[in-house]
Structure 1
Amino acid sequence: MVPVPAPAAPAEVPYVVTRHTMLGPGELPPLTGEASQFTDIDFKVPEDVKRRANERGARNTRVNRDSSRARFKQWCESQGRIARPTTTTANVATYFGHLMEKGKDDGTKYSPDTLLAYCGRIVAWYPKGERPDGSLIREMIEDYRLEEYIPAGGEPEQSAGLTLKYLVKVLAAIDESTRIGRRDAAMLVLQYGMLYRAVEVTNLLVRHVRLDTDGVWVWTAKSKTRRSGKGRWRFIRDRPDLRITARVRAWLADLRELFEPTAGNQNPAGGESAYLPNKPLFRALTTLGNLKRRANAKVRGLFLTGRAVNEMVKARSAAADVSIINGLKVTSHSLRAGPNTDLAEADVPLAERNEAGDWHKDSTLSDDRYNRPDGSIDISKRDPFDAVPLWGAAAAQAPSSPPDEERPAP
């Protein structure tokens, strides 16, 4: 008896289906062969495009993101666990348990907010659909906040508020007969008047500052909370305790005398001027007051870093013996908390403080996080600091209002 051959297995249809495939009614997935129409050129990009893709996002965000992921990967390798190209929820949960238990190298505990930031960076490292369970990790962190961090005396890390009462002392201790002193004084008063973060004051260009008869106009191209959209001018009225106009004018005069250094000359007369519209307003200086060569500064180029501003603020405050205020350390962020505190104590409304500090119009941060008690051109030249009383010697020199009986009749 001749055996009947088994029916041939139906040929497998070479469809391409992934977890991201979306099909409409009656629509079939693409065939495998349809993908072969691509050649290597369809996957290649020029070097500058690849660089832009790799460097997308603010630099500080990239640095923090990459360092958080690198530390997780290093820890996994030390424990014989797998971090890449994919990982497990158990690996991530164990890592965060390790951070909560061990704490920082200096013996202090990680704040829950810091751990939440780490969690977001690590979870987002993996493709959607292959990510560890971030919700579980976040619940662990919130339990840690309530059961360990707060009972152990954990508090949000805050900078002191460098209010006018203290800022005038810092300015008085600066030797403004030197070019470095004039630069630092101008930077401090502008940062205070604009409630700037450190990186925002370093991003100012020469063309972003314009002197007026009674104050200074400052252009902010973007901020941390306003990354896109139109920039804005804001007016800072001059006041005797800060002398903003004089200090900015003095620094601009210095910039006009400075030229980009060469290998053989630190300030070559007739060289490339530092006082050009699209060059940074504040520059790194040598001890002699010349421009530093920035050939090796690959990240910020001619621009100062936020860290450099922070170190300057701390050094100037220490020299004035105000490095600690109400138990908090003075940092560059103190020039954001300080002016907001002055404005709040002068009863400037929250909405106006939000606009001055470039917070979102509905934000309560200026009340909740930036108060330390002890986009368009404003053609009216209204300055919220008009409501803040003068401090120091300037207050004594300011003319006082005459008694009622001496005032001229309206």
Structure 2
Amino acid sequence: MTAPATQATEAVELIEAELLDDAADRLPVPGGAGPVYRITRHTILAEGELPPRADEQVRFTERDFTVSRAAKERSGRRGARNTRVNRDSSRERYKAWCAADGRVAEPTTTTANLVAYFDHLMATGKPDGTQYSPDSLLAYVGRIVSGYTKGERPDGSLVRDMIEDYRMEEYTGEKEQSAGLTLKYLVQVLDTIDESTRIGRRDAAMLVLQYGMLYRSIEVTNLLVRHVRIDSDGVWVFTAKSKTRRKGKGRWRFIRDRPDLKVVARVTAWLGDLRELREPGIGRGQQNPVDGEPAYQPAKPLFRALTTRGNLKRRANATVRGLFLTGRAVNEMVQARAAAAGVALIDGLKVTSHSLRAGPNTDLATADVPLEERNEAGDWSKDSTLSDDTYNRPDGSQGVRKHDALDAVPLYGDFPAGAPAEPAPGFPPDPDGDAT
């Protein structure tokens, strides 16, 4: 390089309608005469080699910026749907807060604005009065900062340091966990389902498969008809990909039939329903038309949205998941079925769709199944300890009896004059005369 840099610019520039990269530096020759060279911080030159001249850059045309509508939509959908939703919602909340506080959030923002926003979140907490977890705040930082062009991003490292201080000094919250829907509770739920209806048969089949596979809700909804095969003594289930295994080949896993789960009978019954169902047509009276397209096809979803009469719902407006159920729909189903069985709460924890992941893992741990085998069953990574640290509920979901010491106190504190308190029903009196 024969000429030292005398001036640098950090912006995207157009020179004679040419496109220059971000963070571009132009190197003029001394005295302002002669050619202008194009260099970025990523340029690599051999000794004595000159950088490319600015007037020799490639000229782009409209064609170089144009893609098909499908390609544009695909690029906008990059990343898992939940990731996109979380990313976009985090950025929109930041923009809304900045607007309400008289600050600028777009097209770029400042580090001070970001600091003020996260100070606000840590100081005020969530709308329900609970604290934001440090891990959630760290996730928000990444989503917001990555939304800005490189070179114009606020300093997220400063905010991350603030959050770590918050973790050590202020955060006292406890992570909300789902209850473990262990087998004995799952059987109670299954016993309350009316399996003489299509909705009942669908829900029962979904519950036993989700329990048997330790599935997340989105994984059970992603199953296709071809992903399930009935064997003489169980069911084979194919998982194309999971949250922890996004790439590579899918895998088959076997769920052995047993009298409590009745997985063969329940899955067989639901597959029979799918064979009878037809895609709805347009207009009234077009539910389950005889000449409609069959629901039982290898590449169609295994579990479908149903009307109250047990026909397929029209999904024309389901633009996000199409014929597939959403994870939220599965969660609502699980919660409704658990509530109907009287187990909406198990040892103070809510039953959710994730309970069908924590529950079987807890049963396996109680049965002394090794960690490595549980990781394989739940599709965790080989060296993961999540099945021990996060998804095991040894102190919950184990049938701890409901007992409150205040059971011994009469309603409204109305003790009989001169008489000791009667023990609560179901609890024998203590040998010393105290209720236990």
What is the TM-score normalised by the length of structure 2? 0.81
Greater mean alpha carbon deviation, residues 179-188 or residues 39-48: 39-48
One of 33, 44, 48 as aligned partner of 2:55: 33
Q: CA deviation at 1:102?
A: 1.5
Question: Gaps (5+ residues) in structure 1?
Answer: 1-7, 375-410
* 1:274 and 2:295 correspond: yes
Q: CA deviation at 1:103?
A: 1.3
Specify the alignment match of 1:238 in structure 2. 257
Displacement over 6 Å in runs of 4+: none
Matches within 5 A, 1:31-70: 31-35=53-57, 37-70=59-92
Aligned residues: 364
For 1:13 and 1:251, how far apart are their aligned partners in 2? 75
Matches within 5 A, 1:183-222: 183-222=202-241
Specify the alignment match of 1:400 in structure 2. none
Specify the alignment match of 2:184 in structure 1. 165
For 2:46 and 2:319, how far apart are their aligned partners in 1? 50
**Secondary structure of 1:295's aligned partner:** coil
Q: CA deviation at 1:126?
A: 2.3
For 2:108 and 2:41, how far apart are their aligned partners in 1? 16
Q: CA deviation at 1:198?
A: 0.4
For 2:34 and 2:104, how far apart are their aligned partners in 1? 35
- Name the amino acid aligned to 1:91: N
Q: CA deviation at 1:124?
A: 1.6
- Name the amino acid aligned to 2:215: Y
Specify the alignment match of 1:286 in structure 2. 307
Specify the alignment match of 1:89 in structure 2. 111
- Name the amino acid aligned to 1:134: G
One of 149, 152, 162 as aligned partner of 1:130: 152
**Secondary structure of 1:217's aligned partner:** strand
Q: CA deviation at 1:213?
A: 0.2
Comparing both chains, which one has the higher relative contact order based on Cα–Cα distances under 8 Å and sequence gaps of 6 or more? 1
For 2:32 and 2:168, how far apart are their aligned partners in 1? 61
For 1:96 and 1:355, how far apart are their aligned partners in 2? 39
Specify the alignment match of 2:97 in structure 1. 75
Deviations 1:223-276 (Å, cap 9, x if unpaired)? Answer: 000001000000000111010010000000000000000123111013100000
Question: Gaps (5+ residues) in structure 2?
Answer: 1-29, 396-436
Q: CA deviation at 1:17?
A: 2.9
For 2:72 and 2:349, how far apart are their aligned partners in 1? 43
For 1:180 and 1:171, how far apart are their aligned partners in 2? 13
Greater mean alpha carbon deviation, residues 291-300 or residues 25-34: 25-34
For 2:49 and 2:252, how far apart are their aligned partners in 1? 54
**Secondary structure of 1:15's aligned partner:** strand
Specify the alignment match of 1:102 in structure 2. 124
Specify the alignment match of 1:155 in structure 2. 174
User: In 2 relative to 1, CA 23–89 (structure 1 residues): closer, same or farther, beyond 3 Å?
Assistant: farther
Q: CA deviation at 1:10?
A: 3.6
User: In 2 relative to 1, CA 252–29 (structure 1 residues): closer, same or farther, beyond 3 Å?
Assistant: same
- Rg larger for: 2
Q: CA deviation at 1:12?
A: 5.6
One of 319, 322, 326 as aligned partner of 2:343: 322
For 1:179 and 1:277, how far apart are their aligned partners in 2? 20
For 1:313 and 1:226, how far apart are their aligned partners in 2? 25
**Secondary structure of 1:146's aligned partner:** helix
What is the TM-score normalised by the length of structure 1? 0.86
Q: CA deviation at 1:90?
A: 1.4
- Name the amino acid aligned to 2:65: F
